[in-house]
Structure 1
């Protein structure tokens, strides 16, 4: 299989995008956080993604095969300065690449697209959250210049 193309998502990608989000939830969030609703993408994913495609402060990229099948995605958001934040920030909200195409650079190209988008908007900081147990994702983000900045500690209520 040739390496996927990375491009901005369009409305015709909606089903594949929702499927990619659902795969991320199933593989990552639902496995690592028992409070996550693994069915959320099936119930709310199409509405969420449709809103993102129309949001000027959102980036939605897809990785596609030669026949335009969506095999990965990246969703980013831009936050302008505010009373609390002195500079703009861009957050990498969600990213997934199907296992069959991992290791060939699609994830890196998705991240590069996010970095360029954030830079074009003047973001002073790029942010991403990943589960501590997702060592592959952490390594990928670190290879692309992200560094560990804060630590979130959690405890289930007794």
Structure 2
């Protein structure tokens, strides 16, 4: 199934794809170490509980830990596969944008909830333009990216 199906509504899907970029990059960068940590947890011996409380003996606890680890690794690998598919879909379109278009979209969508200053104000100050012009440029850049991702509107 194509990654584009996750972003079915083209305009809001384009915005969500911009917002998802940093998460997908993190998944790709951290999956190897996460899988290694799960493998390490699967092969270790359970430590005794030293609180004085009696324990019930589960003769299949080791098997359960291995099965649980395998399930977790499957989830991590599927997440990784989806992130790689996303990058193969999104990055070529992103790279075709101009530097100004990338700046506009990054400023407006990736940093909107973290900034004390409105993203529109940052854009207005950077380009010395009015708010309406900033919105128009952002919309034009968003439409360009949407066309690159999904084809004709």
TM-score interval, normalised by the smaller of the two chains: under 0.3
**TM-score (ref. length: structure 2):** 0.21
**TM-score (ref. length: structure 1):** 0.20
Q: Which has the higher contact order (CA 8 A, sep 6+)?
A: 2
Larger radius of gyration: 2
Looking at secondary structure, tell me which structure has more strand per residue.
Answer: 1
